[in-house]
Amino acid sequence: MKKKFVIVESPAKARTIGHILGSQYTVKATLGHIMDLPEDDFGVDLETFTPVYTILPKKKKIVAYLKKIAENSDSIYLATDEDREGEAIAWHTTNVLGKNIEEVKRVAFHEITKPAVLEAFNNPRKIDINLVSAQQARRILDRIVGYKLSPLLGRHLSAGRVQSVALQLIVAREKEIQNFVPQLYWVIKIVVEHNGKLFQMQLIKVHNEKIKSPGILEKEKVQQYLNEIDHKIVTIVDVEKKEKNTGPYPPFITSSLQQEASTKLGFSSMKTMQIAQQLYEGIVLDKKTSVGLITYMRTDSPSVSKLAQTQAAKFIYENYGKQYVPDRPPHYTARVSSAQEAHEAIRPTHVNFVPEEMKKYLTTEQFALYKMIWERFVSSQMTPARIQTLTIRATVDQFEFEATKSEIIFDGFTKLWKINIDSGEENLPSDITIGQTIKIKDVKVEEKKTEPPPRYTEASLIRTLEKFGIGRPSTYAPTIATLLKRRYVRKQKKVFIPEKLGIDVSDALSKYFPDVINVEFTAKMEQQLDEIAEGKRDWISLLKEFYDSFKLSLERASNEIKIDFSTEKKDTKINEKLERICPECGKSLIIRTSKFGKFIGCTGFPKCRYKEKIKNNDNHSGN
């Protein structure tokens, strides 16, 4: 009797599905994509945009093996992942097997559990050609940009649509930091006493005019205010208590999982996805049964099935109490309008698979990630936390001061998912009343400097790409990995710093291919790819529109770019002396040269980090 043949991408997934389906099915893996554009040729007809796909050299034996099994099977099921890449793998597999889409059955599920898998096999569908077209369009766009741009940059270098935008963000931020001139400002606080407890209040208004952020900018005013405030008595003019609910965070999507794993666990985005893939495809538990522990990990939808919400509510009620179960299940919507395909959020497949009970089956890293996913999901189904804020305002003459204190009065979802709140003045008294007078015990002045914007971390870069609609769940991790591999950027203490090579490449792309690194242009392109996936746009016309504009820029750049970026030359830095002294430490000032250009700095560097922009009248003599 012939068996039913199921094709998936990975051996781990094949093992888990095989346990569920039983002996009537043969389940084998393609080990990822089996066809792609050729490695040694462009592979796209730029008149018709017809791609030429070839079987990947390392997959020829696998293809022959799959063909042999298919010939002796009475039906073929394609159970690749439920996204565009998975749909493309299913379509390519159909082609190499010599079948058409009417002869195969497409099954898709967002979790590898018995109910989900059996439901999918009972309700197979056809391959979605719209999803395939969207994947093809993305692949061909990336091939055009990469294949045509990279030779202009020199050997071993590359440019890509999303990669180039990410690089530009990092470089632009670095230039902003290098050009940043810090500004001194001051904050005045008074120390007062009530019932034997000291607390501080900050000056917020003078002559009924609010002190604007970041603080007082004129040092002369600081001393003037100090002389007028010192040892006086303030009168309490307002005491305000407010309570507010702080709702739980939504369950993870791909980007938020990568951000949180980077911040809390120190995982790279690539590592996070590799571990999540293991948890999704199946972990061997007791009796050597493989079970998928989380839902599909490439998603931009935070929605949760009604069944999962019902199970979570029951678990919360039984383990934490009725007060932690909301009256109605929470509803979460995608942060970006272009959320792709109707996936669920990343959540545990069984809420009763408590992390501590799963720990013995998991590696240390698998456990850390699973615990985080489980806690985020369960907490997302709990009641809001209640936070009480006490605000006290006091005046003396033309000066107004303020102090606040915040505390959690009902933990709600924070019982599982801890959050940071600004507690403010912990000694702030709740029994103080309007009209009460308090003597000023002391006056404090804090001198501060404005800070430049922070460099990007993996978490903040992914957050920014997502915010602008650049890239999709499957692209964040490989984009970052490519920037590091090409040595366009380096990671230092968790932040990205562009190398000179990366700056040169980004500057050249900005000059000759502004659309390629333009945030709005790239985001619009992603939206158009989404429209193809939804059957609302033709993929060939999108490619033609892009290439007609791109080839004009390409011709110009081919004639003008003369720099060999593959050879990184070190600048000769000559420090030019000025007849001026540093206002911060008293040492001489000089004109320094960095990779971003010239600026005025202190000879006391690195102890003194004073710097300023060069004005037109700054020259070698300092005149």
296 catalytically annotated:
yes
User: How far is the C-alpha of 616 from the C-alpha of 530, rounded, in Å?
Assistant: 50
The greatest distance separating any two alpha carbons of the chain, rounded to the nearest whole angstrom, comes to 98
Residue type, 171: V
Residue type, 511: K
Residue among 32, 12, 4 nearest 107 (CA): 4
Tokens representing 137 are: 């369009």
215 dihedral zone (left: phi>0; alpha: psi -120 to 50; beta): left
Sign of the alpha-carbon torsion through 274, 276, 282, 285: positive
Residue type, 170: I
Convert 285-303 into a string of H (helix), E (strand) and C (coil): CHHHCEECCECCCCCCCCC
| Element (DSSP H or E) covering residue 380 | helix 364-380
Tokens representing 464 are: 């920014």
Phi and psi of 571, rounded to 5°? Answer: -70, 145
Sign of the alpha-carbon torsion through 91, 97, 98, 99: negative
**Any idea of the CA torsion for 606, 608, 609, 613, to the nearest 10 degrees?**
-120
Tokens representing 497 are: 């710093």
Of 53, 225, 280, 296, the active-site residue reads 296
Q: Are 424 and 405 in contact (CB under 8 A)?
A: yes
- Cβ neighbors of 222 (< 8 A, separation 6 or more) are 186, 188, 216, 445
Q: Are 501 and 560 in contact (CB under 8 A)?
A: no
Report DSSP letters for 477-538, one per residue: HHHHHHHHHTTSEEEETTEEEE-HHHHHHHHHHHHH-TTTT-HHHHHHHHHHHHHHHTTSS-
User: How far is the C-alpha of 302 from the C-alpha of 313, rounded, in Å?
Assistant: 17
Instruction: Give the sheet arrangement for strand 25-29, strand by strand.
Output: 25-29, 3-8, 73-78, 105-106
Q: How is residue 331 annotated by DSSP?
A: -
- Taking residue 327's Cβ as centre, other Cβ atoms within 10 Å add up to 5
With 0-12 / 13-18 / 19 or more C-beta atoms within 10 angstroms meaning exposed / middle / buried, residue 430 is exposed
DSSP β-bridge partners for residue 600: 591, 612
Q: How many residues does the chain have?
A: 623
DSSP three-state, residue 205: strand
Q: Catalytic site residues?
A: 296
